Amino acid sequence: MKLNKTTTTIISFALGTVMFTTTAIAQVLSKSGYDQLKDSVKYTAESCTTKLSSYTTDMSFSLKDNGTVIYSGNSLDKVDVSKGAKESVSNMVEGSKKSGNYNYYDKKGFISKDSEKNIYYATEYTSPREIGASKNPFKEKRADDMEKIADALVGNLKDAVVVAENSDGTKTLSGSLSEAQIPALINAVVSFQSKNEFGSNNEQNIPRITKDVFVKEVKGNMVTTKEGLIQNVLGSGVISGKDDSGKDHKLTFELLVKMTGINSTKVSSPDLTGKKVEKNIQQDHSKLSNPEKYIGKYKSDILMEKDAKFVKIGERFIDVTAVNEKSISGRHYEEYAKGYEEYAKDKKDFKFDAKFEKDQFNGAVIAEGSSNKSIKGNISIIQGSAKIYFNIADNISRNIINDDQYSKVFN
């Protein structure tokens, strides 16, 4: 079973709340302590993408309503950075429903398991790709802005965290914030988000919190190695609120993350011998594989409406003579059927040479027609099919119906 959109949104919000706790704990430190923790987080992100050869992360999460567990889950991710491989196993309990997911990724493809049907889906890439774990989130374009927003939300909290440097060089960062210490701005943001997410859910076991929402408590504990690599994070938060009937709810979020198997984690593709497997091949649309296969003639019908019916009055052709990953060239022309010669007076016949946009196999066409009139349009290759899209900007008529999608002609 896969999580539905509502549940996924709720869990994401809950995780965000606990991770926000971590940010808050960092901010309440002195400036040097705050900088030290941010350096540790960034160092861990950089290490997980470039410096470490492999690692394992183990995460457990639970959500309680008035002391009763309404959702819990755990996931185990094994990552081999050097080989570009990742294996992920997760299990969830939502009310009385239990579910699990299995995924394996490497540069050549990915494998997932449908637990309900007991089927493995194996997808092969036509060209190597990098897995998501190889991307450092702090190097994304909006990372600096998000960091500034987090800093602004927390405000001027001080002296709420104890930082202990252990004898082996590791550091323990711990602290808690009570209801009275939570800034009004944070409560406003949490209230707004909870009303949007928890107030709109349709799950019977998730309460609809819509009134008097505020943060009662946040706690956090983080341990880092002497180099600054995060070993584990323990966070919790409590949000209070009321549903539409006025009933009080106390939602408790708990998160535990551990990082182990540094440079010793082994990741291998699952043995599918004797298993039910469905295979498919996934094209890499950022590259144009075998561009020469697009060379040839393409055709599109020219139609018009006559006597309450569609009537074919001619055909438009594209004769592609050359194509590669950077450009496409050829000839475009039209032919009209007998009896419709009047429409042939303005028929177009021209050669074109278009350059593709970066990583997108479409480009602008600027050509000169038989009457020395400038022709502008757009051409694009529809990957995964024997079709080409070709639009001419001024090819508009009140009576003629043109289809800008051309299909390849096979003899």
For position 387, what pLDDT does the model report?
A: 93
2 CB contacts (<8 Å, ≥6 apart)? 99, 101
pLDDT attached to residue 132 = 56
What dotted CATH number matches 291-408?
Answer: 2.40.128
186 by DSSP, 3-state: which? helix
pLDDT of res. 388: 94
Q: What is the pLDDT of residue 27?
A: 47
Tell me how far apart the alpha carbons of residues 133 and 208 are, in angstroms, rounded to a whole number.
34
At residue 30, the pLDDT reads: 46
Neighbours of 408 (CB within 10 A): 17
| Phi and psi based region of residue 144 (left: phi greater than 0; alpha: psi -120 to 50; beta: remaining) | alpha
Strand 119-125 and strand 277-282: the pairing is: parallel
What are the domain boundaries of the chain?
Answer: 5-282, 291-408
* pLDDT tens per residue across all 411 residues of the chain: 444 544 554 455 454 554 444 454 444 444 455 666 677 888 898 999 888 999 999 999 999 999 989 889 999 999 999 888 999 999 999 878 888 999 999 989 999 998 888 999 999 887 777 765 567 778 777 777 777 766 665 555 545 557 788 888 898 877 777 777 666 656 666 666 666 666 555 555 677 787 888 788 888 888 999 888 999 999 898 888 888 888 998 989 999 999 999 999 999 999 999 999 999 877 666 677 788 999 999 999 999 988 889 999 999 999 999 999 899 999 999 999 998 888 888 788 899 999 998 778 889 998 876 666 788 899 999 887 899 999 987 655 657 888 899 999 987
Backbone φ/ψ region at 2: left (φ over 0), alpha (ψ -120 to 50), beta: beta
| pTM summary value | 0.63
Distance CA 25, CA 33 (A): 10
pLDDT for the residue 156? 53
